């Protein structure tokens, strides 16, 4: 398989070596028992997302998007297949090891934001930095990220004092806090009006450009899908097609 310049690096001896993709899913199957039978949800998903890409995952309700998202985020296990995050196979890890990888390598932004209501915006962003070993000051890092997402003036506000769009920005800043290999977002505009949806989409573009972060976003929003480098369409548990450059 040929690699582009972005997918190769020079070793100490000067030889070109392949750079691990941010995410690789290999032949992912997922089935669940139902009334003595097994229902296949994912039927052999293969996908590769390179570092710095913005990829959307689209498809009808019930197609397997959310199941796939949970598996690549390390929140669920496939029945068979492999998931590699930044070159690390997370598929059969124990929970303590997997929790460490999730903290260091994966940022997750949920549709419902999942902010802690009793904490300020800054405190919510600091939380992942108190788990595991992270260099520097958690409070300084949180303030920097909230400035980056345009909320430097909202550091001391609690979620109930923020709009839906602002809560989404806090959730994105929290996901960025540990400088993960990938950020996974589940329907990031699903609970927002058009203006806030457009603002969040512009924020994602800006963050990708400024930080080089890899974004993987499941969405029903055609505007979000069209803004991605690639749109991967899931139908009936399989990759039906890809739209955009590979």
Count of domains forming the chain = 1
Res 4: pLDDT: 43
Please report the DSSP string for 171-205 in residue order.
HHHHHHTT--SEEEEESTTTTS-HHHHHHHHHHHH
- Phi and psi, residue 154, nearest 5°: -120, 20
Domain that holds residue 67: 51-78+86-244
Nearest to 65 by CA among 245, 188, 220: 220
pLDDT of 246: 39
Start-to-end C-alpha separation, the chain? 13
- The CATH code of the domain that includes 168 is 3.40.50.300
Euclidean distance between CA atoms 56 and 187, whole angstroms = 10
The pLDDT, as a whole number, for residue 137 is 93
Looking at residue 92, its pLDDT comes to: 86
User: Considering the domain boundaries, does residue 44 fall inside one?
Assistant: no
Q: What is the pTM of this model?
A: 0.85
Write down the pLDDT at residue 13.
52
Residue 238 lies in a domain: yes
Question: Which residue positions in the chain have pLDDT lower than 70?
Answer: 1-18, 244-246
120 phi/psi in degrees, rounded to 5: -75, 170
Cα(100)–Cα(69) distance, rounded to whole angstroms?
A: 18
pLDDT for residue 10: 45
Q: Is residue 189 part of a domain?
A: yes
| 164 domain-assigned | yes
Residue 157's pLDDT is 97
In a domain, 98, yes or no: yes
- Residue 9, pLDDT score: 47
């Amino acid at each position: 398989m040929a690699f582009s310049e972005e997918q190769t690096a020079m070793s100490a001896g000067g030889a070109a070596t392949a750079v691990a993709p941010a995410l690789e899913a290999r032949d992912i199957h997922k089935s669940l028992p139902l009334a003595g039978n097994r229902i296949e949800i994912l039927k052999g998903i293969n996908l590769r997302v390179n570092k710095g890409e913005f990829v959307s995952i689209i498809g009808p309700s019930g197609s397997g998007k959310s199941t796939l998202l949970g598996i690549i985020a390390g929140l669920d296990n496939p029945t068979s297949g492999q998931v590699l995050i930044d070159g690390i196979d997370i598929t059969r890890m124990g929970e303590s090891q997997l929790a460490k990888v999730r903290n260091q390598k994966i940022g997750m932004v949920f549709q419902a934001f999942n902010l802690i209501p009793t904490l300020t915006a800054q405190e919510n962003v600091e939380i992942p930095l108190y788990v595991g070993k992270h260099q520097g000051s958690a409070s300084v890092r949180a303030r920097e990220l909230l400035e980056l997402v345009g909320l430097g003036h909202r550091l001391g506000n609690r979620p109930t004092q923020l709009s839906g769009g602002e809560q989404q920005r806090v959730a994105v800043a929290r996901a960025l806090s540990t400088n993960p290999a990938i950020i996974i977002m589940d329907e990031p505009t699903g609970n927002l009006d058009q203006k806030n949806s457009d603002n969040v989409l512009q924020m994602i573009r800006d963050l990708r450009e400024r930080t080089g972060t890899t974004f993987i976003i499941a969405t029903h929003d055609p505007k979000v899908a069209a803004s991605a480098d690639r749109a991967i369409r899931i139908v009936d548990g399989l990759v039906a097609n890809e739209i955009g450059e590979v």
